Structure 1
Amino acid sequence: MNIQIQIAKDADAPAISKAIIKTLRESNAGDYPAEILDRVMGSFSPSKILRLLAERQVLVAALDSQIVATASLDRDVVRSVFVDPNFQGMGIGRQLVERIQSLAVDAGFELLRVPSSITAEGFYASLGFKKIRDELHQTERTIIMAKTLKR
C-alpha cells in the first residue's frame, strides 16, 4: 500500500469533505446522536473546507490518487483527523499525525493539543496524547488531550 501524504490543494476540497462526512456517518455514529453529527457535518462542506485550507495547514493522504484521509494543524492544535472507514486500521491516521507533529516541531511548538472526539480518544492515546479534561459544547463531549513534542 503506497500512501502519499501531501499538502491539500483547493481542488481537494470536495474529496476531503466526502471523506470526512463518510467517516462521521460511519465511525462516529455509535458515539454521538444524529443531531450532533448533522451539526458537525455542516462544518465540513466543500466551501467550508476551502476556508479551512486558507486558515490551517491541511494534509491529505491519497491511495492511488484517491483521497482517503485528512488532518490539519491550527497553530499548536491538531484538527480534523479523519480516515475513510474503509481504510482505518492501516496506519494512515498515525502517519498523518506524525507528519502534523513534525510540522508543529518545525514551527517551534513544544506541546501539541487535540480536541478529540469520543470515537478517537483511544487512537490519540495510542500516539502518546494524554487526557487533560472533558469539554461540553452544547451536548457534544470533547476530550482535550495533549502531547509534549521532542525536538
Structure 2
Amino acid sequence: MKIREIRAEDIEHIWELIKRNFDEVMIEHHSKEVVEKFKEYNKPEKLKEQMEWKEIYVVEEDDKIIGTGAIANFGDNDSPKYSISNFFVKPELHGRGIGRFIFDHLLMSIKKKEIERLHVPSSRTGLGFYKRMGFVEDEFQPDKKDKIIWMTMKLS
C-alpha cells in the first residue's frame, strides 16, 4: 500500500470510490436528499477544482486506488480551519486499516503546519472512526440539518 498526491487522471477513479461510499454506506445513516447533495459537492468537476486548494492524496494497492483523503483550509489566512476532507475507502475494504493509514499520513502533514487544532466534518458513518482517532464532537454544530457532525482534535 502506498500513498501519493492526486493526479488529474485519478479523478474519475476517486469519483467512483466516493459515489460507492455514498450509495452503499452513507445512505444507511443519511436521507437520500442529503446523500445526493454530497454527491453534487464531489462530482469530478468539483474534485478538479478542489485540487487547486486542497492537499488531496490517494492510496494505491496493486496500482489500483483504494482510498483517498485530503486536508482543506475551510477558514482563511487570518483564521485558518484546517480540516480532514474527502476521506473515503472502498466499501469492501473498510475495517482493514486503510483509513488509519490515510489518517496517519494526513496527520503527519498537518503537524508540519504547526497548528493547534484539526477539524473534521463527519458523516454519521465516520463518527466512530474519528472518535477512535482522537476527535471530540464540537459543542456548536453548524451543519445539523445535513446531519454532519463537526469534530475537533487538539494537536498541541
Q: Distance in 1 between matches of 2:106 and 2:90?
A: 18
How much has 1:86 moved relative to structure 2? 1.2
Tell me the equivalent position of 2:149.
143
What amino acid maps onto 2:36 in structure 1?
Answer: D
User: Residue in 2 aligned with 1:95?
Assistant: 101
* Residue 7 (structure 1) aligns with: 5
The counterpart of 1:105, out of the listed 111, 131, 138, is 111
Q: 1:1-151 maps to which residues of 2 (within 5 A)?
A: 3-75=1-73, 76-133=82-139, 135=141, 137=143, 139-150=145-156
Larger fraction in strand:
1
Unmatched runs of 5 consecutive residues or more in structure 2: 74-81
Q: Name the SS for the 1:94 alignment partner.
A: helix
Same amino acid, percent of matched pairs? 24
Q: Alpha-carbon deviation of 1:101? A: 0.8
- Moved runs in structure 1, 4+ residues, more than 4 A? none
CA contact (8 A) 2:118 2:153 kept: yes
For the residue of structure 2 that corresponds to 1:147, the secondary structure is: strand
Which amino acid in the other structure matches residue 13 of structure 2?
Answer: A
d(CA) in 1 for partners of 2:62, 2:140: 38
Q: CA deviation at 1:135?
A: 2.7
1:134 positional shift? 5.8
- Given that 1:133 and 1:143 are in contact with CA atoms closer than 8 Å, whether structure 2 keeps it comes out as no
Q: How far apart, in 1, do the equivalents of 2:116 and 2:105 lie?
A: 15
Q: CA deviation at 1:61?
A: 0.7
Aligned length: 148
SS of match in other structure, 1:50: helix
Q: CA RMSD in A?
A: 1.4
CA contact (8 A) 1:61 1:96 kept: yes
Question: Structure 1: any 5+ residue segments left out of the alignment?
Answer: none
